[in-house]
Amino acid sequence: MDDSNGERTVARRALLRASAGTVALSGIGSAHATGGTGDAAGVSQFDDDCPEATLEPSMTDCEGATTEGCADDHPATTALRSSVTDALETRYPDVDALLDAGYKPYFDTLEMGDDSWSHWLNPAFIGDDELLDPTRPESVLVDNQSWRSLGVMFIATNEGEPVEPPAVYGTDDDEQRCSPWHAHTGLPGRFAWWFYRQTYEQSSTDDLLEFPCRTPCMLHVWRVDHPESVYAHDAPPDEYRDLPPADDPAFETDAVPGEDDLDWTALPETIVPDRLPADLSPTAPFALEFGR
């Protein structure tokens, strides 16, 4: 790249990082301040008609979900993890491959915890009728340092609409049944799902979708070792992510895998939505109907 292009790219990245951080922090601050002062009118906009909803990150078991019979060494678990690992290594190893396969990035804005990994969602796979298919994972979970795939998140949808998820193994009356599906009821998770649908499923972003009370059911499977479980919700600690940096991406960017964190500013303009999550934050002045 010549110097002029480099200056424009760096300036754009700096502007995106600064604006996203400012809006996100101000939005979170408003939400917590409202709740802390006991302003019922302010809080109710987030949980009206949503009895399970919280401002903080939270989850709930899906109907029929259970982890009682789940074991990392169960034949069904090892087979599923092996298939997931094979798919990630051969089809979806890194950001370049995910973009080629039609995946769309999402970097948490309202989540105040671990920001070292990101969700990449595939509208075609979310919109089909396949469930628990390792070759067509609805979402791939990416390590933002190495830019490589860590695992998958299956999403129980049929043509984009939530459905009852299947067990990984075992029948309804089986004590060894494993069905570790969860749904997000906290504001960060609900907003993430709303943003995905609003940005990538709507023909026009001028029409705002209703804000959901919960997400569809979801299930993580990690290809790297995890101290809790193959199905754990949180990402594995850094010491378990023994992944070499991805090759330099095919798209133009100043960011370098292994040196620069993967975020909106590292991606080409053609991939970045016109409005980022911070621009559509629920605490921003948009006419969202929460929980309706």
Q: Which residue has the tokens 């401002």?
A: 55
Indicate the SS3 state at residue 248: coil
Task: Give the pLDDT confidence score for residue 55 in this predicted structure.
Answer: 87
Contacts of residue 176, defined as CB under 8 A and 6 or more positions apart, other chains included, come to 68, 69, 169, 170
Residue type, 13: R
- pLDDT tens, the chain, 292 aa long: 334 344 433 333 333 333 333 333 223 333 333 333 333 333 345 556 899 999 888 999 999 999 999 999 999 999 999 999 999 999 999 999 999 999 999 987 555 556 799 999 999 999 999 999 999 999 999 999 999 999 999 999 998 899 999 999 998 888 889 999 999 999 989 999 999 999 998 765 567 888 899 999 999 999 999 999 999 999 999 999 999 999 999 999 999 999 999 999 999 999 999 999 888 866 554 444 444 3
Q: Which residue has the tokens 């695992």?
A: 151
Contacts of residue 70, defined as CB under 8 A and 6 or more positions apart, other chains included, come to 77, 168, 178, 180, 229, 231
Indicate the SS3 state at residue 139: strand
CA distance 108 to 118: 7
Domain spans of the chain, in order of start: 3-280
Count Cβ atoms below 10 Å from residue 188 Cβ, excluding itself.
Answer: 21
User: H/E element holding 45?
Assistant: helix 40-47
Task: Give the pLDDT confidence score for residue 34 in this predicted structure.
Answer: 34
Phi first, then psi, for residue 68 (nearest 5°) are -55, -40
Indicate the SS3 state at residue 124: helix
Task: Give the pLDDT confidence score for residue 93 in this predicted structure.
Answer: 98
Task: Give the pLDDT confidence score for residue 23 in this predicted structure.
Answer: 31
Q: Which residue has the tokens 């009356």?
A: 173
Please state the pTM of the whole predicted model.
Answer: 0.81
CA distance 234 to 220: 9
Contacts of residue 226, defined as CB under 8 A and 6 or more positions apart, other chains included, come to 232, 236, 240
User: H/E element holding 220?
Assistant: strand 218-222
